[in-house]
Structure 1
Amino acid sequence: MVKIDKQGKREWHAAFGGEDDDGARAVTATKDGYLLVGNTDSFGRNYMNVYVVKTDKKGKLLWEKNYGGSRDDEAFAVTPSADGGFVIVGRSESFNRRNGFDLYLFKIDGNGKLLWERTYGGEADDAGYDILALEDGYLIAGERKTDRKRDSDVWVLKVDLRGRL
């Protein structure tokens, strides 16, 4: 994580993660710092997990947590919620009984406590890549495959404040 000023000069930098592959996919500003979302191989059980890092305004680590299940899970985007939490979207293999990825959507509070999680998908791989907070819920942009042999289609979902269709 690198913070630069208006002239492009580095103000500070910070690194997070463990000994294996870890990466950030999205960041959002908070009232007291930043929240990064991405993936980690360092802290999972031989699978990739969602990795969330909360920092202060200078990039100092406040907390880091992993989310997901027993298989590969990834986060691609995050949006703050009106109550001080965060809603994160990506994809998960952990909760799909058909041996593929489903869109993975979950909410955490400001301290990283999991409040709810949902998965949506069909017979083949599905994912959510971006999320927008609305007054009455969230709009998610992603992709969906109707079967493993076909190309992906654009997939847009509107969910309520608890992540339900």
Structure 2
Amino acid sequence: MRCSRFALILVCAALLAGPAAAQQPATRLPDDALPADLDRVLRDYEQAWRTGDAKALAALFTEDGFVLQSAHAPVRGRAAIEAAYAGQGSSPLRLRALAHAVEGNTGYIIGAYTYGSNVGDTGKFTLTLQRVGDGPWKIFSDMDNTSAPPRAK
């Protein structure tokens, strides 16, 4: 019986600590050093975003690429990506890599982002990349979401 009470106390303590623990700020993951050809994808994205150049952003994608943004329907194809990015951007965007890998002509970058003078990451992303021959890496899919907690309804 004593063991059962102790187990019950542990379960209750874990349940009570759970929400509080979930609200603690996450530890910042370290940057991952990218090879120059992958880093170019991030820097070109930042530059096109900063200037609000939807055409340049879309050009970073494959012809049949995807954009998967929070609270938006999926977008597919370079023309649709350009239309989706029209009117967005024109603020300082900083992208940093957390992990990456390449196998043949396919790769990925997992990262975090922030805008302007914000301290710390405001969101995270995954880029799936493709390369045709010896050409530059292109984004096949870009999925991002904010790190902000959901709004109460």
Classify the TM-score, shorter chain: 0.3 to 0.5
Q: What's the TM-score, normalizing by structure 2?
A: 0.33
Larger radius of gyration: 2
User: Could you say which structure has the greater relative contact order, defined with CA pairs below 8 angstroms and 6 or more residues apart?
Assistant: 2
- The TM-score normalised by the length of structure 1 is 0.31
Normalized per residue, which structure has more helix? Answer: 2
